């Protein structure tokens, strides 16, 4: 019998501190940086974002999202045998945020301690991270290497922002989203399509790294926004088309497009190319900003919890990000 994987629960978490554009504009003005609500809304569709306080790490955000996904799936930590965290803002250089998060789940109670021993690792594909992580978890489940996975996208991107650079610091936010993915006789995940092209490293990167105990190079985010924009629209369409072809479905079979929430104009262009009305697109960019690897599972959970996205519907998840990386997952909820 063919073995598939299926999402059985979703969860998400946003740190409590919410900054509207007005809050951010005032904060930046105090630093001598000029921007406006009008500019941000018109160019990006973003109205607000959430920033984690200093004491909150990526694993803390991921932990909250994971607990909510487990609750939704009717599962406990000890039922999980694989944890994959997609992040570009790990708690430490090593060990993985997934291992740290596993231990936080293990400490919930005596039974939860049974999650110790589950495989745990991070995936680094920037804003495409969740698509990569879901693809890997699906492959491991189908191959019989795992039975129940927690797949999490979690980020504290605010810590990578240069608040003197108005072209980037208005775009991003912090948050986490998670799914429980389980072995199933029914799909579930129908197809996925992931890619990377390292020649574009320079248009979106955080070049700094640790060398001999000091940070070498610039540790803040650099982006050529226009180059990213142009590349993103074409790559998202191509990933969506390939996932649809592999999964044997047409544009018209998609009930919901759940795209990476970077910029409303990129999302509108992709929807247009796929001939999907915006009524079939789950949108959170206005309230979350770009939360990188967290944005797709955050949007998925938002869709599920608001009752828009329902069991049995066909969802196309797609993302693009630094690397350059891009990809899509086609699934039936």
Catalytic residue numbers, as ranges: 127, 260, 290
208-244 CB burial, b ≥16 within 10 A, e <16: eeeeeeeeeeeebbbbeeeebeebbbebbbebbebbb
Under a CB-based contact definition with an 8 Å cutoff, are residues 326 and 310 in contact? no
According to the binding rule CB under 6 A, does residue 229 interact with ligand ACO? yes
Determine the size of the site formed for ligand ACO (CB under 6 A).
Answer: 23
The residues facing 85 across adjacent strands are 122, 152
Closest CA to 176 of 285, 58, 17, 287: 58
Q: How far is the CB of 300 from ligand ACO (least distance, A)?
A: 17
H-run or E-run covering 56: none
Two structure tokens written together for 124: 């680094």
Closest CA to 44 of 203, 170, 233: 170
Q: How far is the CB of 157 from ligand ACO (least distance, A)?
A: 8
According to the binding rule CB under 6 A, does residue 269 interact with ligand ACO? no
- Tell me the C-alpha distance between 59 and 10, whole Å: 17
According to the binding rule CB under 6 A, does residue 166 interact with ligand ACO? yes
* Contact pick of 112, 120, 204, 206 for ligand ACO (by CB under 6 A): 204
* Contact pick of 20, 35, 184, 314 for ligand ACO (by CB under 6 A): 35
| Span from 8-16, 39-47, 69-77, 207-215 in contact with ligand ACO (CB under 6 A) | 39-47
Q: Which is nearer to ligand ACO, 35 or 184 (CB)?
A: 35
137 Cβ partners below 8 Å, 6+ apart?
A: 5, 82, 84, 146, 149, 151, 181
| Span from 62-70, 184-192, 222-230, 303-311 in contact with ligand ACO (CB under 6 A) | 222-230
According to the binding rule CB under 6 A, does residue 313 interact with ligand ACO? no
Find the binding residues for ligand ACO in span 106-135 (CB under 6 A).
Answer: 126-127
Burial of residue 119 (CB within 10 Å: 0-12, 13-18, 19+) is: middle
* Contact pick of 80, 156, 228, 233 for ligand ACO (by CB under 6 A): 228
Q: How far is the CB of 156 from ligand ACO (least distance, A)?
A: 14
Q: How far is the CB of 76 from ligand ACO (least distance, A)?
A: 34
According to the binding rule CB under 6 A, does residue 167 interact with ligand ACO? yes
Alpha helices in the chain (DSSP H): 21-30, 37-44, 58-73, 97-106, 129-142, 166-169, 225-247, 264-273, 285-288, 295-305
Binding mask 74-113 for ligand ACO (x = CB under 6 A): ----------------------------------------
| Span from 11-19, 145-153, 208-216, 261-269 in contact with ligand ACO (CB under 6 A) | 261-269
Closest CA to 149 of 205, 211, 193, 101: 101
According to the binding rule CB under 6 A, does residue 239 interact with ligand ACO? no
Contact positions vs ligand ACO (CB under 6 A)? 35, 39, 43-44, 126-127, 166-167, 170, 204, 223, 225-226, 228-229, 262-263, 266, 290, 292, 320-322
């Amino acid at each position: 019998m063919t073995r598939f994987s299926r999402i059985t629960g979703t969860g998400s978490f946003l740190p409590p501190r919410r900054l509207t554009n007005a809050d951010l504009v005032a904060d930046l003005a105090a630093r001598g940086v000029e921007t406006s609500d009008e500019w941000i809304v018109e160019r990006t569709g973003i109205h607000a974002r959430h920033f984690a306080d200093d004491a909150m790490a990526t694993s803390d955000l991921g932990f909250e999202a994971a607990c909510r996904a487990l609750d939704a799936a009717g599962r406990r930590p000890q039922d999980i045998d694989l944890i994959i965290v997609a992040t570009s803002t790990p708690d430490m250089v090593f060990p993985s945020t997934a291992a740290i998060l596993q231990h936080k789940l293990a400490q919930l109670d005596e039974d939860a301690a049974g999650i110790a021993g589950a495989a745990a690792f991070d995936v680094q594909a920037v804003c495409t991270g969740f698509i990569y992580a879901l693809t890997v978890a699906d492959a491991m489940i189908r191959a019989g290497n795992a039975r129940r996975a927690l797949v999490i996208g979690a980020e504290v991107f605010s810590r990578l922002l240069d608040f003197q650079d108005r072209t980037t610091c208005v775009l991003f936010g912090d948050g986490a989203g998670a799914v429980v993915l389980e072995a199933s006789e029914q799909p579930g995940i129908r197809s996925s399509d992931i890619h990377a092209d390292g020649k574009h490293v320079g248009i979106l990167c955080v070049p700094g790294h640790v060398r001999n105990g000091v940070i070498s190079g610039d540790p803040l985010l650099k982006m050529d926004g226009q180059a990213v924009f142009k590349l993103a629209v074409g790559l998202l369409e191509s990933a969506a088309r390939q996932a649809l072809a592999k999964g044997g479905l047409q544009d018209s079979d998609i009930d919901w497009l759940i795209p990476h929430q970077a910029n409303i104009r990129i999302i509108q262009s992709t929807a247009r190319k796929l001939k999907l009305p915006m009524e079939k697109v789950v949108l959170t960019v206005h309230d979350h900003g770009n939360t990188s690897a967290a944005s797709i599972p955050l949007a998925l959970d938002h869709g599920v919890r608001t009752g828009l996205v329902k069991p049995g519907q066909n969802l196309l998840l797609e993302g693009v990000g630094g690397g350059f990386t891009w990809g899509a997952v086609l699934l039936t909820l």
